[in-house]
Amino acid sequence: MTTAWMIYNGSLAGDKFRDQAELLQEAAMRKGVEARIVANDELFIDATSSFPSRPDFAVLLDKDVLLGRFLRTLHIPVYNDPEVIERCDNKAHQYIALAQANIPMPHTIVAPKTYPNAPLQNERYLDHIIETLGFPMVVKEGRGSFGMHVYLIQTREELFEKVATLGGVDFIFQKYVASSHGRDIRVNIIGDDIVAAMQRTSDCDFRANITNGGTASTVVLTDVQKKIALRAAQAVGATFAGVDLLFDENEQPLVCEVNAAAHIRNIYNVTGINVADAMIDYILEDLK
């Protein structure tokens, strides 16, 4: 019998991370796969001895890239590819890959490297950012989810204050897309297929994330939205992707980000489509 590990992060509080693993476990069981839910802190990356038991494949629902790489060294197939998870987990890396593939996206500038006690303070640099992007502008930390590390900056003073807190953190400056204030589209992609999509809107914030107060509804994607979302997932190499699309001033899509560890519960509740089934189908086909 095929066996699998559904790996989630044991350090994160709240049920939603384990819930994600349960969705995958149930989908795997439906296909006759014996799936175990495993927290990353139940496993030891013991470089000097091997695991007592090993699955036929692992689904890495977390961003534990080191664990993913370790499993790969043991020749355990890991989905998504840990290298893709790493690229997507850092928005600065990701935007460089998206830009290289000519994916339409908001004007984005990657901040220079700084250190914890030496944040960006160069006035000439920051004034150039202000001239280029104007206010309001968006500042995003490289690592962050649920809108928690995405900031709308209104003034020069706020910009200096924010970057002063980001010493040692990878981050980007981005043009604020006013036409997309409080709304975006999440597209879930498996392989070359779009399996589900939802529109998210927020009355209380420029960020449409559901965790941040947004509400979701079903949406019919335009051909352009489909094409851009698929191209974005391909540009970062993601087999499983949750692509966020913004609306430019002509309602055309701009890629906001590609999530390699996209949550699938909300989209299931909204659309009735269980992305976990498509993930398992893809993996079983891929392993043949």
Please select the residue that binds ligand ADP; options are 68, 82, 147, 242, rule is CB under 6 A: 147
The rounded distance, in Å, linking the Cα atoms of 31 and 281 is 8
By CB under 6 A, is residue 150 in contact with ligand ADP?
Answer: yes
By CB under 5 A, is residue 81 in contact with Mg ion?
Answer: no
3-state helix, strand, coil in the chain (%, to 5): 35, 25, 40
By CB under 6 A, is residue 207 in contact with ligand ADP?
Answer: yes
Is residue 177 within 8 Å of 200, Cβ to Cβ?
A: no
Q: Which is nearer to ligand ADP, 62 or 277 (CB)?
A: 62
Q: How far is the CB of 226 from ligand ADP (least distance, A)?
A: 18
The rounded distance, in Å, linking the Cα atoms of 220 and 109 is 32
Residues between 242 and 271 that touch Mg ion (CB under 5 A): 244, 257
By CB under 6 A, is residue 140 in contact with ligand ADP?
Answer: yes
The rounded distance, in Å, linking the Cα atoms of 153 and 134 is 10
Binding range to ligand ADP, per CB under 6 A, among 122-130, 200-208, 235-243, 278-286: 200-208
Q: Give strand pairing partners of 115.
A: 118
CB-based contacts of 218, cutoff 8 Å, min separation 6: 197, 198, 199, 270, 271
3-state DSSP assignment of residue 31: coil
By CB under 6 A, is residue 138 in contact with ligand ADP?
Answer: yes
By CB under 6 A, is residue 174 in contact with ligand ADP?
Answer: yes
Residues between 4 and 63 that touch Mg ion (CB under 5 A): none
Q: How many CB atoms neighbour CB 45 within 10 A?
A: 13
**Which of Mg ion, ligand ADP, none does residue 206 bind to, with CB < 5 to 8 Å depending on kind?**
ligand ADP
Residues between 229 and 258 that touch ligand ADP (CB under 6 A): 244, 246, 256-257
Residue with the two structure tokens 């947004």? 214
Q: Which residues bind ligand ADP (CB under 6 A)?
A: 106, 138, 140, 144-148, 150, 174-177, 180, 184, 206-209, 244, 246, 256-257
Q: Which residues bind Mg ion (CB under 5 A)?
A: 244, 257
